């Protein structure tokens, strides 16, 4: 079974030409799961030639607009964009407690397609620390992160798949243990050590978690463009003590899973 992880968007709250808001695609077996759906997602899916109509699941880490702002556009496209056909396959949205309420309120503002798009839409609220099986192919585990009240990191495991995505976090959490032994560690590294507060990660904390996890490949993401322009963020993470493979996320970055396979890219 082939699996692939693709960066659809790796941006922050800062608008930039190179990428939209946070959004990643995990394809494994019958699962085509979007992890977060930030602004710009639906257009970038088209730019990257991704089968946007084939998305089976949307997994949300938290409710900040740079992670969920693309939801109405994607739902509207899935509702009306397949003419003359209509989608029939179900879509499941997995998100923290409060996800159902957010969709209901979006439906009040924008239209009923947000909760009744004309195909089966299931909204599954997941509690931190819980585990769920996605379409019999991928095991989803979550843990609470100190970014917002509802924010969660995601761990996804299946045949050849061992991916952890931090969403937005903060240092006061055991992300190293949560990500232990993962093949691909997609870790936010928003700001420099001297600027970061309690609700984001920096090279020092990213290196600490990646080292504790013994991550196979560390993918740095959600880096503020001002920080990226001023510093070599990969070098800072190495200098902070992580000696494993480290790359910087960019729109369209895509890798077969597991990442260690010879010739995979």
The piece of 66-74, 89-97, 99-107, 170-178 that touches Zn ion (CB under 5 A) is 66-74
Residue window 204-243: x/- pattern of binding to Zn ion, with contact defined by CB under 5 A: ----------------------------------------
| Site size for Zn ion (CB under 5 A) | 3
Kindly give the pairing relationship between strand 3-9 and strand 57-59: unpaired
Should residue 168 be labelled a site residue for Zn ion when binding is judged by CB under 5 A?
yes
Residue 58 CA to residue 35 CA, distance in Å, equals 6
Among the listed residues 151, 128, 150, the one whose alpha carbon sits nearest the alpha carbon of residue 141? 128
CB 212 within 8 A of CB 223: no
Minimum CB distance to Zn ion smaller for 51 or for 149? 149
Should residue 200 be labelled a site residue for Zn ion when binding is judged by CB under 5 A?
no
- Rounded to a whole number of angstroms, the minimum distance from the CB of residue 190 to Zn ion is 8
Residue 204 CB neighbour total at 10 angstroms: 19
Minimum CB distance to Zn ion smaller for 91 or for 233? 233
The piece of 50-58, 68-76, 162-170, 250-258 that touches Zn ion (CB under 5 A) is 162-170
Enumerate the β-bridge partners of residue 157: 139, 162
- The helix-helix angle for 99-110 and 71-80 (nearest 10°) equals 70
Q: Tell which positions 110-129 bind Zn ion, by CB under 5 A.
A: none
Question: Cβ-count burial of 164 within 10 angstroms (0-12 exposed, 13-18 middle, 19+ buried)?
Answer: buried
- Rounded to a whole number of angstroms, the minimum distance from the CB of residue 38 to Zn ion is 8
Minimum CB distance to Zn ion smaller for 36 or for 183? 36
Q: Tell which positions 19-58 bind Zn ion, by CB under 5 A.
A: none
The piece of 71-79, 90-98, 123-131, 166-174 that touches Zn ion (CB under 5 A) is 166-174
- Rounded to a whole number of angstroms, the minimum distance from the CB of residue 135 to Zn ion is 27
Should residue 66 be labelled a site residue for Zn ion when binding is judged by CB under 5 A?
yes
Binding site for Zn ion (CB under 5 A): 64, 66, 168
């Amino acid at each position: 079974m082939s699996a692939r992880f693709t960066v659809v968007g790796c941006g922050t709250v800062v608008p930039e030409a190179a990428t939209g808001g946070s959004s990643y695609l995990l394809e494994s077996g019958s699962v085509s799961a979007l992890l977060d759906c930030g602004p710009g997602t639906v257009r970038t899916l088209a730019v990257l030639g991704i089968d946007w109509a084939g998305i089976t699941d949307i997994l949300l880490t938290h409710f900040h607009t740079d992670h969920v702002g693309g939801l109405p556009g994607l739902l509207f496209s899935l509702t009306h964009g397949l003419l003359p056909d209509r989608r029939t396959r179900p879509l499941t949205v997995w998100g923290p407690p409060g996800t159902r309420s957010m969709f209901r309120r979006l439906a009040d503002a924008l239209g009923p397609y947000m909760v009744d798009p004309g195909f089966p839409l299931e909204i599954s609220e997941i509690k931190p620390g819980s585990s769920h099986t996605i379409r019999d192919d991928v095991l989803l585990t979550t843990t609470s992160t100190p970014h917002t009240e509802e924010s969660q990191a995601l761990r996804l495991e299946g045949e050849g798949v061992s991916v952890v995505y931090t969403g937005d976090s903060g240092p006061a959490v055991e992300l190293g243990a949560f990500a232990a032994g993962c093949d691909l560690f997609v870790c936010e590294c928003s700001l420099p050590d001297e600027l970061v507060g309690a609700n984001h990660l920096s090279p020092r904390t990213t290196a600490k978690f990646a080292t504790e996890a013994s991550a196979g490949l560390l993918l740095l993401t959600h880096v503020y463009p001002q920080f990226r322009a001023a510093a070599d963020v990969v070098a800072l993470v190495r200098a902070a003590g992580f000696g494993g493979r480290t790359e910087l996320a960019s729109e369209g970055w895509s890798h077969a899973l597991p990442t260690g396979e010879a010739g995979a890219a």
